Amino acid sequence: MREVTTIPCGLCGRAFERGGLTRHHCLPRERGGTGEDVELLCGQCHGMVHATYTNRTLEALYPTLAELRRAPELERYIRWVRNQPSTRRTRNAARRRRT
């Protein structure tokens, strides 16, 4: 029997198998980010981050996950998503991006 190893999402902390996580470049690739600037986020959190912020804003204001967790625009979302099962797959509504 295969033992399932889970990894927490870097933003919400919910547990996922590695295949359920996506790579978030804290410093966007278009701005010089490398493989060393990568954190693992669940698809739902990753989608919300990029629906909320442009790459320029992420680079200037939220270059680390610790800073992103404290982002005022994401506080309510993070509190909500932490209580959702990791199997929940919802599409994030389009948001007005902060530039």
Q: For residue 26, tell me if it sits in a domain.
A: yes
DSSP codes of every residue in 69-82? HT-TTTHHHHHHHH
Output the tens digit of pLDDT for each of the chain's 99 residues. Answer: 667 789 999 999 999 998 889 999 887 777 666 667 889 999 999 999 999 999 889 989 998 899 999 999 999 999 999 999 887 665 555 556 555
Q: Residue 38 belongs to what domain range?
A: 7-82
Instruction: Please report whether residue 23 resides in a domain.
Output: yes
Give the CATH number for residue 14: 1.10.30
Instruction: Flag whether 28 is in a domain.
Output: yes
Split into its structural domains, the chain has a count of: 1
**DSSP output for 47-59:** HHHHHHB-HHHHH
User: The whole model's pTM is what?
Assistant: 0.80
Look at residue 92 and tell me if it is in a domain: no
d(CA 7, CA 47): 18
Let me know if residue 46 belongs to a domain: yes
